[in-house]
Chain A
Amino acid sequence: QVQLVESGGGVVQPGRSLRLSCKTSGFTFRDYGMYWVRRAPGKGLEWVAIIHFEGKNMYYGDAVKGRFTISRDISKSTLYLQMDRLRADDTALYYCARAGIPGTACIDYWGQGTLVTVSS
């Protein structure tokens, strides 16, 4: 079955960096686009980034553009989110998700999330 397991979250000071990982299994990783989505305390879901299935096209939300980088390692079936110059408002539960509805960017599976807290 499809599994997405995030890791790498933790407490980090403002201005520092963190890299999140999402280990996947149960499907052919290279054939799917993948998302990062976050949910800050008391807020709704916010789209962070997407890497399309071909691995060449990546897009970012305005709040993270220029600071975060999405990437993947097909050999490890793992998705990454490199987060630089972190700010307090990046504090959130970060989910990876699969864009699994054929021919679209619609999310069909979500991981359980990893918590990032940016605080001095």
Chain B
Amino acid sequence: EIVLAQSPGTLSLSPGERATLSCRASQSVRSNYLAWYQQRLGQAPRLLIYGASIRATGIPDRFSGSGSGTDFTLTISRLEPEDFAVYFCQHYVSAPYTFGQGTKLEIK
């Protein structure tokens, strides 16, 4: 089973700043089958990034994903007010399709 550990648990930043979120896997994620999701309060999750670095349809280019193997990063270049939310990573290599515990991005 691949266990995903996200850090930090909470990130406090101001609009316009850069956010860097980490997702570390307990073993190598084959084919970079790693996705990032955003969940705003009271809303369903939304796919941001898949294949570790491919932006999903309609996702602004201030969101970018990078990494391979066991270390992955989601970067938001300049935070907009609507970006303050919880972010989850998930691998989709094979069952169990585990999620990280999430990073809460809050306004400083």
Contacts and interface: CB of A to CB of B under 8 A. Distances in A.
Interface of A: 35, 37, 44-47, 50, 59, 61-62, 95, 97, 99, 101, 104-113
6 contacts: A44-B86, A47-B98, A50-B95, A61-B96, A106-B33, A110-B45
Interface stretch (B17-25, B60-68, B71-79, B99-107): B99-107
Interface of B: 33, 35, 37, 39, 43-47, 50-51, 56, 86, 88, 90, 92, 94-102
Given A104-B92, A106-B92, A108-B56, A47 B97 contact: yes
Contact of B90 (A45, A61, A111, A113): A45
B47 A44 contact: no
A63 to B, nearest CB: 10
A105 B97 contact: yes
B47 A107 contact: yes
A35 B39 CA distance: 17
A12 to B, nearest CB: 23
B86 to A, nearest CB: 8
Contacts of B101: 44
